[in-house]
Amino acid sequence: MKTNKQSNTCIDEIANGIYRISTPVPPQAIPGGFTFNQYLIVDDSPLLYHTGPRKLFPLTQEAINAVIPVDTLRYIGFSHYEADECGALNDFLEAAPMAEPLCSTIAKMVSVDDIAIRPAHALADGEQLSLGSKTIQWIDTPHFPHGWECGHLFEKTTNTLFCGDLFTQGGHEHEPLTTTDILESSEKMRAAMDYFSQTRLVHELAEKLALTSPGILACMHGSAWKGDGATLLRQLAGRLAG
């Protein structure tokens, strides 16, 4: 569903109660074109996973309001500290008085409690949190793909791994959820932009994520993907190590 005609921001349900909000940026603004995706988990305690850049806040807010009132958000989560992950954090904390930042223990300690207008709710590695009918789990993955404080979020009832910048696909035209390969296009992006850290622990970190056996990879840039997520993560680790 398109929520803003000028920006072409769309919101689509990609799994039961999980919505992908995508704002495309055309090649005139970012070479090759790009997308910024945020994810809304609708439950008793609604969660927004990454805020999007601060300048996209009005569009992201408008899209959320098409599904639930933005002031009902309970958690504003993100993978690591970067503008497209949490640039609009304080705008959302102001718009949603009950909302808390949700992040890794390192992110809380190093950045979030300093810049956010309310203290963060930190999740330790492996810690679970009930949102009502859905349960999320935090997985620490330092420097994978980047950021000491980096981690990823898994939702158990839909088998969705919110994998942030992993499998980033360039371009600004993507279907919300695809079953076609995303590894090759994301590898092209990695070759062009070199946005992964140089961690030697890629196999261990990819394996931590693969052990969740995700059926959906909710990518921050490009299409979300449906398939055997464990196999794709192991293939990515092989490419990174090679």
CB of 82 to Fe ion, least distance (A): 4
CB of 8 to Fe ion, least distance (A): 19
CB of 50 to Fe ion, least distance (A): 7
Closer by beta carbon to Fe ion, 45 or else 88: 88
CB of 12 to Fe ion, least distance (A): 19
Closer by beta carbon to Fe ion, 76 or else 134: 76
Closer by beta carbon to Fe ion, 17 or else 87: 87
Q: Is the distance from CB of 33 to CB of 46 less than 8 angstroms?
A: no
Instruction: List alpha helices for the chain, DSSP H.
Output: 57-65, 83-86, 89-95, 105-107, 113-115, 183-193, 202-210, 229-241
The count of C-alpha atoms lying within 13 angstroms of the C-alpha of 182, restricted to the half-sphere facing its C-beta, is: 30
Closer by beta carbon to Fe ion, 155 or else 165: 165
- Cα of first residue to Cα of last residue in the chain, in angstroms, is 40
Residues that bind Fe ion (CB under 5 A): 82, 84, 165, 220
Closest CA to 131 of 18, 30, 37, 237: 18
